[in-house]
Amino acid sequence: MMDAEYDVIVIGGGPAGSTAAALLAEYGHKVLLLERETMPRYHIGESLIPYTWFTLNRLGLLDKMQQSANPKKYSVQFVSIAGKVSQPFYFFQTIKHECAVTWQVLRSDFDVMLLDNAREKGAEVRQGVTVRDVLMEGSRVVGVRADLKDGARGTEIRAKVVVDASGRDSLLSRKFNWKDRDPDLNKIAIWSYFKGSARAPGVDEGATTVAYIPDKGWFWHVPLPDDIVSVGVVAEPAYLYRETRDPNEIFAREVRDCVWIHDRVKQGEQVEPVRVTGEFSYYSRQIGGDGFCLAGDAYSFLDPLFSSGVFLALKSGEMAADAIHAGLETGDVSAHHFDEYLEQQQQAVASFRSLVRAFYDLTFSFREFLDEYPHLHGAIVDTLVGNVFNDLTPLYEALSTFSQREARAEITTTTA
Ligand SMILES: Cc1cc2nc3c(=O)[nH]c(=O)nc-3n(C[C@H](O)[C@H](O)[C@H](O)COP(=O)(O)OP(=O)(O)OC[C@H]3O[C@@H](n4cnc5c(N)ncnc54)[C@H](O)[C@@H]3O)c2cc1C
């Protein structure tokens, strides 16, 4: 039996929800986490970036991560369309901190670890429960209406605060019509898993590889435990659907055509069905209201080029927990209480987005950009590793000036 009232109800037991629930329970609040699925469940989003270390450390999970079978990720490398491999970008060359070594994770296991941690810290965790809506009194959210595992529908459970961590379902930003798509990042992803494909030795074994395909599309190649590798392609729908709409055919064609990927996976065996997702990048115009806030993908989702999703989910779960705790202490959890949280999340997402958009801009070259702005090398590295909660305005401004000028030069050349 669930109680009729809690301090906090968290919707969703992914990285954002489990982090918020664990920290709020640790603060001493009475927390209920409701997860629709029964864990372990499948999820995409397997490559971490260095600054996830800090939230995992606060959650007390670094020992578990060290002891896990997750491949250690020291670097990212890029492969040209012709198959030429760049020098790997090793995080330890720029970060003199333990966080420079991060992980590739099997999300089903990683998410169980996070959810168990929330439970161990005192949160009540209910799986197989689908939240249908929130309860409102005027503009204030005062709880949720959920379908329970035993079949009871529309059960009302009250709370002082509700956290929407429902991921790409975005329960509350849809309800309040806050969700905006990013028209410049209209991509789709098609992916699967291979067992027994070729792996680099030693320190490069767990590297993420980004392999370019034409029209600024790209493949990810992410080594996972048990000799499995996650392989997926991201590109414009018009490019991927140019001959057929059958995802199996598209995936097979793109793997065959990408020299580096094909060389790796040809000796392995595809062990999972092909999966597809669209609706790529979006964000919510608000992050909270009276008695509620959003965290993780429920707030914003960005193209996975730089593996920012789990980092932002963990970090926003942490920030949401701190903001809610402060609010519960003073008895004020009204909308304005989440203003600073919104500002910080907007800034973090904007940092990643500025680099993602530059990558997809056909006139943009990172090498030429850095020739002109060598002093911004550090700001780019900061973004790639997740050090994004500081002022990166000079980077955005320079990227914007550079891109506009390159675009103008392109137009002039084309029309001359
Ligand atoms: C193709 C692709 C590749 C990606 N690659 C990477 C990567 O390499 N690295 C990276 O960091 N990120 C990656 N991501 C992003 C990453 O998957 C997400 O950012 C991350 O999972 C967000 O965590 P979350 O906790 O916000 O949401 P989720 O992990 O989606 O968790 C939300 C949870 O809420 C539950 N839920 C939903 N609705 C309800 C409801 N009504 N009631 C109860 N429960 C509900 C769901 O079952 C789910 O368990 C990728 C994403 C895509 C699409």
CB 373 within 8 A of CB 398: yes
Take atom 41 of ligand 1 and give the residue whose Cα is closest. Answer: 131
Ligand 1 atom nearest 41 alpha carbon: 49
Which of residues 345, 369, 398 is at a domain's end? 345
- Using a 6 Å cutoff on CB, does residue 17 contact ligand 1? yes
Q: Which of 366, 386, 385, 362 is nearest to 376 (CA)?
A: 366
Which of residues 227, 255, 277 is at a domain's end? 277
- Token look-up 């959650």 returns 59
Task: Tell me: do 307 and 272 sit in the same domain.
Answer: no
Residue 160 belongs to domain with CATH number: 3.50.50.60
Query: Which tens digit of pLDDT belongs to each residue from 89-106?
Result: 999 988 999 999 999 999
- Using a 6 Å cutoff on CB, does residue 44 contact ligand 1? yes
| Domain presence at residue 232 | yes
- Res 360: pLDDT: 87
Task: Tell me: do 211 and 267 sit in the same domain.
Answer: yes
Residue 416 has pLDDT above 60, yes or no: no
Q: Which of 330, 338, 295, 294 is nearest to 316 (CA)?
A: 295
Task: Tell me: do 238 and 295 sit in the same domain.
Answer: no
| Domain presence at residue 386 | yes
Task: Tell me: do 114 and 37 sit in the same domain.
Answer: yes
C-alpha 311 – ligand 1 centre gap (Å) = 11
Q: Which of 288, 310, 278, 237 is nearest to 48 (CA)?
A: 310
Which of residues 260, 277, 294 is at a domain's end? 277
Question: Which is higher by pLDDT, 141 or 389?
Answer: 141
Separation CA 29–CA 7 (nearest Å): 6
- Using a 6 Å cutoff on CB, does residue 12 contact ligand 1? yes
Task: Tell me: do 115 and 251 sit in the same domain.
Answer: no
Distances in Å between the alpha carbon of 232 and those of 46, 85, 120, 263? 12, 18, 35, 15
Q: Chain-wide mean pLDDT for the chain?
A: 93
Ligand 1 atom nearest 312 alpha carbon: 19
Task: Tell me: do 114 and 35 sit in the same domain.
Answer: yes
Query: Which tens digit of pLDDT belongs to each residue from 33-90?
Result: 999 999 999 999 999 999 999 999 999 999 999 999 999 999 999 898 888 898 889 9
- Res 414: pLDDT: 52
Task: Tell me: do 216 and 234 sit in the same domain.
Answer: yes
Q: What is the dihedral of CA 105, 110, 114, 120, to 10 degrees?
A: -130
| Domain presence at residue 60 | no
- Res 280: pLDDT: 78
C-alpha 46 – ligand 1 centre gap (Å) = 10
Task: Tell me: do 225 and 260 sit in the same domain.
Answer: yes
For residue 365, what pLDDT band results from cuts at 50, 70 and 90? confident
Mean pLDDT to the nearest integer, 201-216: 92
Q: What is the dihedral of CA 250, 253, 254, 256, to 10 degrees?
A: 160
Strand 188-195 and strand 269-270: the pairing is: antiparallel
Query: Which stretches within 92-159 are classed as H helix?
Result: 107-120
| Domain presence at residue 287 | yes
| Domain presence at residue 59 | no
- Res 326: pLDDT: 97
Task: Supply 36's token pair.
Answer: 């629709």
Cα angle for residues 48, 392, 53 (degrees, 5° grid): 25
| Domain presence at residue 69 | no
Ligand 1 atom nearest 49 alpha carbon: 11
- Using a 6 Å cutoff on CB, does residue 34 contact ligand 1? yes
| Domain presence at residue 395 | yes
Q: Which domain holds residue 229?
A: 187-277
- Using a 6 Å cutoff on CB, does residue 189 contact ligand 1? yes
Task: Supply 5's token pair.
Answer: 């009232």
Query: Which tens digit of pLDDT belongs to each residue from 376-415?
Result: 988 888 888 999 988 888 988 898 888 777 666 665 555 5
Strand 75-79 and strand 208-213: the pairing is: parallel
Separation CA 117–CA 61 (nearest Å): 8
Separation CA 269–CA 186 (nearest Å): 31
Task: Tell me: do 286 and 251 sit in the same domain.
Answer: no
Task: Tell me: do 25 and 157 sit in the same domain.
Answer: yes
The pTM (predicted TM-score) of the whole model is 0.95
Q: How many domains does the chain have?
A: 3
Take atom 33 of ligand 1 and give the residue whose Cα is closest. Answer: 12
- Res 279: pLDDT: 75
C-alpha 405 – ligand 1 centre gap (Å) = 37
| Domain presence at residue 171 | yes
Q: Which of 286, 33, 301, 315 is nearest to 161 (CA)?
A: 33
- Using a 6 Å cutoff on CB, does residue 171 contact ligand 1? yes
Contacts of 45 (CB under 8 A, 6+ apart): 107, 304, 309, 310
Q: Is the peptide bond before 374 cis (omega within 30 degrees of 0)?
A: no
- Using a 6 Å cutoff on CB, does residue 131 contact ligand 1? yes
- Using a 6 Å cutoff on CB, does residue 52 contact ligand 1? no
Task: Tell me: do 14 and 111 sit in the same domain.
Answer: yes
- Res 86: pLDDT: 86
- The 10 Å Cβ neighbour count of residue 108 is 12
Residue 257 belongs to domain with CATH number: 3.30.9.100
- Res 413: pLDDT: 56
Phi, psi of 362 (to 5 degrees): -65, -20
Task: Tell me: do 173 and 193 sit in the same domain.
Answer: no
Tell me 34's DSSP state: E
